[in-house]
Amino acid sequence: MKFEAVLFDLDGTLLDSIEDLTDSMNIALDRFGFPAHDVEACKHFVGDGVEMFALRALPENRRDEAMVAQCAAEMRAEYRKRWSLKTRPYDGIPELLDDLTLRNLKLAVLSNKPEESTKEMVAELLSKWRFYPVAGARPSVPKKPDPTLAIEISQQLRLPADKFLYLGDTGTDMKTARGAGMFPVGALWGFRTAKELKDTGAKVLAAHPSEVLQFL
Per CATH, the number for 18-82 is 1.10.150
**Can you tell me the mean pLDDT for 32-37?**
98
Domain boundaries, the chain: 5-16+87-215, 18-82
- Cα separation, 205 vs 10, in Å, equals 17
- DSSP codes of every residue in 105-155: -EEEEEEEEEHHHHHHHHHHHSTTS--S-EEEE-TTSPPTTS-HHHHHHHH
**Can you tell me the mean pLDDT for 49-60?**
96
Class of domain 5-16+87-215: alpha beta
Chain centroid to CA 189: 12
Residue 1: is its pLDDT beyond 90?
no
What is the average pLDDT value for the chain, to the nearest integer? 97
Residue 104: is its pLDDT beyond 80?
yes
CB-count exposure of residue 35 (10 Å: 0-12, 13-18, 19+): exposed
| Alpha carbon distances (Å) from 189 to 23, 80, 186, 209, 215 | 20, 25, 9, 8, 17
